[in-house]
Amino acid sequence: MSNLKPGIGETVGKDIDTYEEKNSMSTRFSYGLGGFLDNIYSAAFSVRVIAFYEDEVFLPILMVSIAFVLYGIWNMFNDPLLGHLSDRKNRFTRKYGRRFPWFVASALPFTFIYLLIFTIPFDDTILIFIWLLITICLYDFLYSIWDTNWLALFPEKFRSVKERAKVGGITTVLGLVGMTAGMLIPPLFIVYGNRESYIISAIVVVIIGLLAAVLMIPGMHETEEMKEKLLKAEEDKGEEESFFQYLKIGLKQKNLLVYFFLYITMMVLFTLILGSIPYLVRYILRMPADTEIYISAAFLIGSVSSVPVWVYLSLKLGNRKVYMIGFLFVVFALLPLLFVSNLLTVLFIILILGFAVGAVYTLVYPVFSDVIDEIVVQTGKRNEGIFTGLRTFFGRTANIIAAIVFVIVHELTFYQPGAESQTPLALWGIRVILALVPMFFFLISFILLWRVYDLTPSKVKENQEELLKIKL
């Protein structure tokens, strides 16, 4: 590993970049649409599914939670194993690359599965529970395949620090637009108490998602240079290591483990806040479903406007420092949601929260690439798929956490599904889920970034120089 002179790499100016920027703007945009596809479905899923099954279908919240816990256990095997499988050479690798065939085979059918969650063909409680469990597991199976390969392509395709920052910025903006679309579009069609309206909203999401998946195809192509480098690495690496050997390697990487917790935190925020919006609008603000549109718009304005700021700061201060700022900012932005009940005040707070969350989303991909680069330097092998699969698995544990939080809080506060109004205790429970639990996770994440995570700009530069030297 190269020795750096004192001070070099402590700022992220032009000296830190070891690689050239090789991809066109259209390729970056096409790849970045993965952020849109990911987030429109994740938002629509997180906002709607629990509330739909509890308040519209009247499936007991305990059964909803059990389904999500089993879904999380399914993820324990599904995501990492699919990541490991996608890392392996197959008969399509030489012609199409390592990631592209997996993406095409999974992303297009994935876009349709969301609709099945809401088209329940049964009235029996047990059969409804089974339908929920099967559809969300199938949804996640296809999601994991395309998302794992999309994310794993990022550090392979975009090697330059500056290009990673730019693509991360594009992906963040499109991801935030997707998140807002997933929050904003369904309320245009949903009427509380009307199950059929949820099906109509799901059809609209499916049409938009399919278009995004098709437009992603150019950005997912792997160049001849990438294929040749991959095939040479396959020839040189010798005996294939097992899934559990890679898992052991990953669990020894402190920066990877910290990143996994940061990602869980981000997904806990995403799942709990989005899942709480229908409860916030219906019972705290006491307004119709289309009020969710204004909340979504406030979040979009705050988050998208923040992206250039966070990209600029990351290039000046480095990913680690800006991530610390962003996580702490979110803690303070969440605090007022424990108290406010006025729509205009809520919209202002959501605007500020969106600006803060922009930091977390802008750097989620560049920080992961920094972590992966460190592992590649230490192992001498590029196996992003397995670690991306582990990342997806840890992120999916947020669904288990959310399910447990919802059932515990709703049971302890005597929440009444579908009621015209809730007691003050139940309303406080909604606020706990909305703000207090995410605040706890973000505070812990800030401490981990501050005290444990050590990928400073100088260390990132060292890793990039070493990767260039070993041609990986």
Confidence of residue 244 (pLDDT cuts 50, 70, 90): low
**Cβ count near 443 (within 10 Å):** 16
pLDDT at residue 15, as a whole number: 43
What pLDDT does 265 receive?
A: 94
Q: State yes or no: pLDDT of 326 exceeds 80.
A: yes
Instruction: Name the residue with higher pLDDT: 83 or 408.
Output: 408
Least confidently predicted of 95-99, 173-177, 276-280, 290-294: 95-99
Q: Do residues 439 and 331 lie in contact, with contact meaning Cβ atoms separated by under 8 Å?
A: yes
Which residue did the predictor score with more confidence, 113 or 11? 113
What CATH number does the domain located at 25-232+243-470 have? 1.20.1250.20
Mean pLDDT score, 158-186? 83
pTM of the model: 0.73
Q: Given a cut of 50, is residue 11 above it in pLDDT?
A: no
Which is more confidently placed, 91 or 133?
Answer: 133
Pairwise pLDDT comparison (65 vs 467), residue with the higher score: 65
Question: Average pLDDT, stretch 153-161?
Answer: 77
pLDDT at 91 over 80: no
How big is the CA angle at 47 (ends 203 and 326), to the nearest 5 degrees? 125
Banded pLDDT at 239 (limits 50, 70, 90): low
Q: Which two structure tokens, joined as six digits, stand for 433? A: 């889920």
Q: Per-residue pLDDT averaged across 294-317, rounded? A: 89
Mean pLDDT computed over 294-316: 89
pLDDT confidence of 93, banded at 50, 70, 90? Answer: low
Q: What is the pLDDT of residue 220?
A: 87
> Using CA atoms, how far apart are residues 394 and 257, in angstroms rounded to an integer?
10
Percent of the chain's residues with pLDDT above 90: 41
The pLDDT of 184-194, averaged and rounded, is 88
Rounded CA separation 87/151 (Å): 12
Give residues with Cβ within 8 angstroms of 286, minimum separation 6: 421
Token pair 């003050």 is at which residue?
Answer: 424
Q: For residues 94 and 325, which has the higher predicted lDDT (pLDDT)?
A: 325
104-150 pLDDT tens trace? 888 989 999 999 999 999 999 999 999 999 999 999 889 888 888 88
Classify residue 210 as exposed, middle or buried by CB count within 10 Å of its CB (0-12, 13-18, 19+). Answer: middle
Question: Alpha carbon of 438 to those of 145, 283, 369, 443: distances in Å?
Answer: 28, 20, 25, 9
The tokens of 429 are what? 């429970």
Predicted pLDDT of residue 16: 44
208-213 long-range contacts, CB within 8 A, separation 24+: 208/40, 208/181, 209/37, 209/40, 209/41, 209/110, 209/111, 209/114, 210/108, 210/111, 210/112, 212/33, 212/36, 212/37, 212/40, 212/178, 213/37, 213/107, 213/108, 213/110, 213/111, 213/146
Q: Which residue has the higher pLDDT, 20 or 260?
A: 260
List Cα–Cα distances, 109 to 105, 113, 141, in angstroms. 8, 7, 11
| Residue 370 clears pLDDT 50, i.e. is over it | yes
**In contact, 284 and 427? CB cutoff 8 Å:** yes
Tell me the angle at which helices 25-51 and 254-279 cross, rounded to the nearest 10 degrees: 50
Residue 273: φ, ψ to 5°? -70, -50
Measured from the Cβ of residue 362, the count of other Cβ atoms closer than 10 Å reads 31
- Cα separation, 449 vs 380, whole angstroms: 26
Q: Mean pLDDT across the stretch 402-418?
A: 91
pLDDT at 276 over 70: yes
DSSP label at residue 54: I
Helix, strand, coil share of the chain (percent; to 5): 80, 0, 20
Query: Any idea which of 65-74, 160-169, 210-219, 274-283 has the lowest mean pLDDT?
Result: 160-169
User: Contact, 37 vs 209, CB < 8 A?
Assistant: yes
pLDDT at 327 exceeding the cut of 90? yes
